[in-house]
Structure 1
Amino acid sequence: MFNVSKIRADFPILNREVNGKPLVYLDNAATSQTPKQVIDVIVDYYQRLNANIHRGVHTLSQEATDAYEQARLKIQAHFNIAKSHEVIFTSGTTHSINLVANGFTSLLNKGDELLVSAMEHHSNIVPWQMLCERTGAVLKVIPMNENGELLMAKFDGLLSHKTKLVFCNHVSNALGTINPIQEIIQKAHAVGAAVLIDGAQASPHIKADVQELDVDFYIISAHKVCGPTGVGMLYGKESWLKKLPPYQGGGEMIAEVTFEETTYADLPHKFEAGTPNICGGIAFGAALDYMNAIGFDAIASYENELLDYATQELLKIQGLKIYGTAANKTSVISFNIQGIHPYDIGTILDKLGIAVRTGHHCAQPIMDFYKIPGTVRASFSFYNTKEEVDVLVEGVNRAKAMLL
């Protein structure tokens, strides 16, 4: 049985009040909350292990190194990654994408084509635009329909021998759409293109198997999966990581340095210059342990119940429109009420203790597609409840009565 009350007891922040009301936290697509099991790991690190890693012979350094590398192994196991050195610690999804985009600068020629989906976060658009400016490559867009689903027939038409890279999110942060990434990967590979999948929004809902997907790059941020901010993962196939040059120079990423020449360290250290977020990496591993103990099948089943219930109840509100009605989606609802700016709804909801996200969600092309300034986004996690959905619906109705 899925015991949401027991799970909620693991999250201290859910007990607080906001503006004199019990907190209803529905901004999980921006960042998940952190359970005490992960908080305890963070505290323990600074109380017992705080030392730099990989370089020290003393006990604290060795213990910190062991804990950090154990976290790498946990990430490897979670995503079914073939080799631990294919796991690169980064500061998050944005860092991971920029690392890959920088590396491809020397691998592209003028006229090469890159394909990006129409529903990407800005972090999976801007670095590729910058890459095109540096190389003369051309960025093309895979369009979507009114339901927030990619037009795969159009994708087929865009693919050619000129296609070198394809970028797509596993799940849209603005709409909740689960994209057909396995099909995208297979078709891209058929024309010799590499594929990078932004797994940030999928990671709290779906346990991706990178070997089964046969994806070239897969990236996530720890703070989406109950971990800390400021740390993430880049998975890259060994063959690709060996082709890409280092993204940053400094300590740890070198084999030997003289003033005449520097040789680089082997993977993964080649891409991990400087002192990393050691505590964050260790806590990242602890967060995956926590979520795996609950079980991703159980999480997905419960969150789908919340999504169905919230969709049903919100659609009872006259004038409310949901954006992103794909048949296959995660527990995200983006909506507007006719005649009301989303920011105004979000402000009133906050006064009622309800945390939602308003705006374009770093996905302005999606908003331009729908010809709207933004949406109210309620995003649900496995520690939310149907009672909280009821509070949200009541709050939206109250906001509507005040603003119309």
Structure 2
Amino acid sequence: MEHLNETNGKYSTYILANGLRIIHEPLASRVAYCGFAVDAGTRDEMPDEQGMAHFVEHLIFKGTHKRRAWHILNRMENVGGDLNAYTNKEETVIYSAFLVEHFSRAFELLADIVFHSTFPQHEIEKETEVIIDEIQSYEDNPAELIFDDFEDLIFRGHPLGRNILGNPEQLRTFRTEDAVAFTRRYYRPENAIFFVLGDVDFRRVVRLAEKLVGNVAGGTATGNSSDNRRMPPLPYVPDRLVMKKGTNQTHVMIGARGYNAYDEKRTALYLLNNLLGGPGMNSRLNVALRERRGLVYNVESNLTAYTDTGTFCIYFGCDPDDVDLCTRLVYKELRRLRDTRLTTSQLAAAQKQLIGQIGVASDNNENNALGMAKTFLHYNRYESQEAICRRISQLTSDQLLEVANEMLGEDYLSELVYLG
């Protein structure tokens, strides 16, 4: 067995002969988490497959060669466990939370649905309507929908701009053979990882993996397999789009493409984003727009890092009469970050706040398991919380100023506005 101790020495890894990578971190708790992360998401769909990655995520719970949907539904629920999944632009994760004594049960079920689903047509027809209801619910929430429309704006014509859920017309054309073709292409051992966070002996994890998935056909371990198949987006061109939506509020997105997941500058942008519009009530945008002037209920900024690009965006919703003032105030705060170097005390306070937020967030073990899965899937290693905090604490005001001028300039930013 191969053991990696690159970060904090707490985790272990192993690679099966078919290329499946395994990562395990012990956890002193009665509750454990395990699952598969597959290196396939919305950006990996063919033009006639829009929505397929998310569609498959729903349908893998609907039947395998040896189980019907009802049996899958009850397998973990009957012992108080939880079975869940999510899809984004670059990965699909299927996982379970359970009492540690039910680890074998969870692993066997997950292996069955990930590698042996049959996608029965009668289940497809039912679940398609469920997904369409999900789409309609999403479209009724402009504060969420605008994020997808904004990515479509800055990645125009590229799969990264696609809505994860797809569209009803396309979904209704999907058949069993379409889902099977998609999973044959991507749900392969060498294109996935298996992760465990829990009080389970690592040797037992590997033995079970050999038994349950060792005979699943695959290639050789190559780490991240997305490099050769994913087309990079076209060069970014800032744009502005106004859409009539009939909403009571005006909703606004301001942002641009950001750094990719491997760019060393992403840590500086991470800190700037938190300072500007992170979850703290003392973020600069919240103070400027809400606390001082009462112009908005919610204002926030967000980062997403993909394997070859990223996004940075600011969102707020306000009364239509206040949109020009709110927009000016946002650009004023961006200009402050570009023009004024943080003092030593300001930098130290920003670092302390972000490191504290990371520490508080780490109390959620489910999030820790999913974070470990995503990191290992794309980086082939797991960076500890301590290592992340060390990178944050080493940032300088000059680095922040450089990144602010590169990423937050007005001529670099795009705008999307939903009008009532």
TM-score normalised by L of structure 2? 0.23
